[in-house]
Amino acid sequence: MVKKLNKILISIEISSLEKFFNFKILLFLAGFFSICNAQQILVSGKVTDSLHNPLPYTNILAIPQADDQEIKFAISENNGSYKLGLVKNQTYEITVSYLGYKPQTIKLTTTELDITKDFILKENPDQLDEVNIKYTPSITVKKDTITYNVTKFVTGEERKLRDALKKLPGVEVDREGNVTVQGKKVTKVLVENKTFFTGNSKLAVNNISADAVEKVEVLDNYNEVAMLKGLQDSEDMALNILLKEDKKKFVFGDIEAGAGIKERYLVHPNLFYYSPKTNVNFIGDLNNQGIKSFSFSDYLEFEGGFGKLLEDAGSYFSLFNSDFAKYLNNQDFTDNVNQFGALNIRQSISNVTDISGYLITSNSKTQTASNTLNAYQDITDPFTENRTVTNNLW
């Protein structure tokens, strides 16, 4: 049997936040994570001025002397109280800072027991009334948003965003590129308040250059529709990457190429262009190794990602049962040559309207073989027939 598939898919979608009128109120139980576990002790106390007035929203930063330990941080409450979870039997350099006051730095060695430590900050006598002082704290907290000033934590040796994120207190990045903040998984990545391609954290943390990042915002209780925030509970957490002014347009990606015996070859470019208003993604492939140039998971990403399809289960099953999906899942061949190209474009028309579309073209040449074995017994001279048929088109 000979199969030759030439297929072109074109999809254009126009979405506007102004069209979101219907929504569901969802209830959920929020679990509370204790800052102390079997390996931690609690450092707590109050931050006040010399007159014992509480200093709210003071930054408390704990930098460990051991390289294998994470930086910890806390923000004081309205009454000046704070709680900081530190690892047992470690030495930290703790810096307490507040605008208009002298920072206070101490060394603290933890034991097996919780510690109570108060801080009294003194006003900065060098601060003159006629001088405007611009102060940018390392970490700020406002309602559901934590903002990290990345430049305060990096050393300049970081290559990709993942390297910079690992330096931020409370942020973890695993080998696959999944991001968690304070133990909660990040489900979406934005750049300059716009979804970064499909929103997948792996694509962002493994490709965005670290020196392009100025700030990172952690958005808890995230909702894509701004007008539903506060009305509809959400378990989602998003990461919003704020870029430096001269780094807001960039190209990244990779090109894989290889050759082997029996004239085997593989060329696979995966290229991206990003700007605040335009996202372009090109995937190409040419190989004769029987490797599918475009997988079903890639098809899902072009349709908006698995998370988007979960909102409408019917569209997922419709997509899964489509002719193109069946072709992508087909592995019934002995030899195969794939020629493939896919282009995905997203253009922002205004703050509330995006136009997105994709073009997919695929040319597949397939060789199949069949083998039939017939045994004839009910005749005078029994015999066995073994028939092999190979079909190809090159």
Domains along the chain with CATH numbers: 2-17+250-366 (no CATH), 37-124 (2.60.40.1120), 136-244 (2.170.130.10)
pLDDT at position 332 is 58
Whole-angstrom CA distances from 104 to 45, 118, 125, 164, 165 are: 15, 11, 15, 26, 26
pLDDT at position 25 is 33
Q: Which residues of 155-176 are buried (b: 16+ CB within 10 A; e: fewer)?
A: eeebebbbebbbbbbbbebeee
pLDDT at position 81 is 93
Any idea which residue has 């102004």 for tokens?
18
Residue type, 199: G
Instruction: Give this prediction's pTM.
Output: 0.54
Residues 234, 237, 241, 242, Cα dihedral to 10°: 50
- Can you list the residues of the chain whose pLDDT is less than 70? 1-38, 126-136, 198, 224-234, 291-335, 379, 389-394
The Cα angle at residue 158 between residues 196 and 57, in degrees rounded to 5: 75
**Inter-residue contact 393 to 379 (CB < 8 Å):** no
pLDDT at position 127 is 54
Query: What are the structure tokens assigned to 166, written together?
Result: 């690992």
pLDDT at position 320 is 60
3-state DSSP of 310-360: HCCHHHHHHHHCCHHHHHHHCCCCCEEEEEEEEEEEEEECCCCEEEEEEEE
Element (H, E) at 204: helix 201-205
Distance of CA 257 to the CA centre of its chain: 26
Helices (H), 158-197: 161-165
Query: What are the structure tokens assigned to 180, written together?
Result: 């968690």
DSSP conformation class of 35 = S
- State the Cα–Cα distance between residues 202 and 290, nearest whole angstrom: 27
Whole-angstrom CA distances from 113 to 40, 73, 85, 186, 233 are: 9, 19, 12, 33, 37
**Inter-residue contact 360 to 7 (CB < 8 Å):** yes
Q: 275: helix, coil or strand?
A: coil
pLDDT at position 1 is 42
pLDDT at position 13 is 46
- State the Cα–Cα distance between residues 122 and 386, nearest whole angstrom: 95
Q: How do strand 40-49 and strand 119-121 relate by DSSP bridges? A: parallel
